[in-house]
A and B are shown apart, each in its own frame.
Chain A
Amino acid sequence: MNDLPRKCIALVGLLVAFGACDHLSLAAQAPNASFAGVIERTRPKIVKIYGAGGYRGLESYQSGFLISPEGHVLTVWSYVLDSDVITVTLDDGRKFEAKLLAADPRLELAVLKVEAQGLPAFDLGQSVEASEGMRVLAFSNLFGVATGDEPVSVQHGSVAACTKLEARRGTYETPYKGPVFVLDAMTNNPGAAGGALTDRDGRLLGMLGKELRNSLTNIWLNYAIPTREMATTVEEIRAGRFVAQRAAPDAPKPAHPLTLDLLGIVVVPEVLDRTPPFIDEVRIGSPAAEAGLKPDDLIVFVGERLVPTSKALRDELERIDRIDRVKLTVTRGQDLIEVTLTASDAEN
Chain B
Amino acid sequence: MPQSQSSQRAVVRSVTLSVSLLLTLASAVMVRAGDDLPAREERAMTKAVAHVAPSVVSIETVGGAERVEGMLVGSAPTTGLVVSADGYIVSSAFNFAQAPTSILVAIGDGRRFPARLVATDRSRMLVLLKIESDVPLAVPVAVPESELRVGQWAVAVGRTFEGGHANISVGIISALGRIWGKAVQTDAKISPANYGGPLIDLRGRVVGVLVPLAPDRTGEMAGVDWYDSGIGFAIPLEHIRKILPRLEQGKDLNPGLMGVTFAGSDIYDELPTLSGARPNSPAREAGLRKGDRIVAVDGHKVERLAQLYREIQAHYAGETIKLSIERGKESIERTLTLASKIDPYRRPTLGILPTRAASSELAAADKAKQPSGVGVRWVEPKGPAELAGVQAGDRILAIEGQAVADRQALADRVADSKIGSKVKLDVLRGDKKLVLDVELAEMTGEVPEQLPAAPAAPKAPEEERPPVGLVELEDAGMSKGILYVPENYDPAVAHGLLVWLHSGDGLDREKLLAEWRPWCAEHDCLLLAPQAALANQWTPPDVERVARAIERVRDTYTLDEWRVAACGTGSGGALAYALAFGEEHPLAAVAAIHARMPKEPTAQEPEQRLSFFVVSDKDPATQPSVKQLRAAKYPLVTRQADAGKPLDAKTLEALRRWLDALDRI
Contacts and interface: CB of A to CB of B under 8 A. Distances in A.
Interface of A: 2, 5-6, 9-10, 12-13, 16-17, 20, 23-24, 27-28, 30-31, 34-35, 131-135, 157-164, 167-168, 171, 182, 184-186, 200, 214-220, 272-276, 298, 300, 306-309, 329, 331, 334-336
Contacts of B169: 158, 160, 184
B29 interface: yes
A133 B49 contact: yes
Contact of A30 (B18, B37, B113): B37
- Nearest first, the 10 closest Cβ-Cβ pairs linking A and B are A167-B162, A276-B63, A216-B76, A161-B167, A184-B169, A216-B74, A163-B161, A133-B46, A217-B192, A161-B161
Given A27-B33, A200-B38, A300-B62, 8 more contacts: A160-B167, A184-B188, A217-B74, A219-B227, A273-B66, A274-B75, A275-B63, A300-B104
Contacts of B228: 186, 219-220
Contacts of A13: 18, 21-22
B235 interface: no
10 contacts: A28-B37, A133-B42, A133-B170, A200-B39, A274-B64, A275-B63, A300-B104, A306-B60, A309-B62, A335-B114
B114 A331 contact: yes
Q: Quick one: which of A10, A28, A131, A300 has the most chain B CB within 10 A?
A: A300
Contacts of A35: 38
A329 B102 CA distance: 13
Given A28-B37, A30-B36, A182-B167, A6 B62 contact: no
Contacts of B36: 27, 30-31, 34, 200
A215 B75 CA distance: 10
Contacts of A163: 161-163, 165, 167
A163 B114 CA distance: 25
Interface in B51-74: 60-66, 72, 74
B38 A31 contact: yes
Contacts of A23: 29, 33
B265 interface: no
Contacts of A6: 10-11, 14
B114 A16 contact: no
A334 B114 contact: yes
A31 B162 contact: no
Nearest to A329: B112
B162 A164 contact: yes
B189 A184 contact: yes
Contacts of B167: 132, 160-161, 163, 182
Nearest to B22: A16
A307 B60 CA distance: 10
Nearest to B47: A133
B168 A132 contact: yes
A9 B74 CA distance: 68
A163 B162 CA distance: 6
Contacts of B162: 163-164, 167-168
A306 B160 CA distance: 13
B591 interface: no
B203 to A, nearest CB: 15
Contacts, number: 168
B191 A217 contact: yes
Nearest to A272: B66
B168 A298 contact: no
Interface string B175-196: 0000000000000110111000
Given A31-B38, A200-B39, A218 B168 contact: no
A161 B165 contact: yes
Contact of A24 (B32, B66, B114): B32
A35 B390 CA distance: 92
Interface string B73-115: 0111100000000000000000000000110100000001110
Contacts of A27: 32-33, 36-37
B104 A20 contact: no
Contacts of A215: 74
Contacts of A220: 228
Contacts of A186: 228
Nearest to A30: B36
Given A20-B26, A162-B163, A9 B38 contact: no
B460 interface: no
Interface in B213-240: 227-228
A148 B585 CA distance: 64
B25 A308 contact: no
B151 to A, nearest CB: 15
B104 A331 contact: yes
A182 B161 contact: yes
A169 B26 CA distance: 56
B193 A218 contact: no
B112 A336 contact: yes
B132 interface: yes
Contacts of B29: 20, 23-24
A134 B42 contact: yes
B284 interface: no
A170 to B, nearest CB: 11
B517 interface: no
B37 A132 contact: no
B15 interface: yes
A215 B73 CA distance: 10
A217 B132 contact: no
B37 A160 contact: no
B45 interface: yes
A218 B74 contact: yes
Given A184-B169, A300-B104, A17 B14 contact: no
A199 to B, nearest CB: 10
B39 A306 contact: no
A39 to B, nearest CB: 13
A33 to B, nearest CB: 9
B315 interface: no
B166 interface: yes
A158 B15 contact: no
Contacts of A334: 114, 116, 132
B227 to A, nearest CB: 6
B537 to A, nearest CB: 35
Contacts of B116: 334
B165 A218 contact: no
Nearest to A215: B74
Interface string B1-45: 000100110110011001001100110010011001111011001
Contacts of B60: 300, 306, 308
Contact of B76 (A20, A171, A329): A171
B61 A308 contact: yes
Contacts of A161: 161, 163, 165, 167-168
A10 B188 CA distance: 45
B214 to A, nearest CB: 17
A200 B188 CA distance: 19
Nearest to A168: B162
Contact of B49 (A132, A219, A276): A132
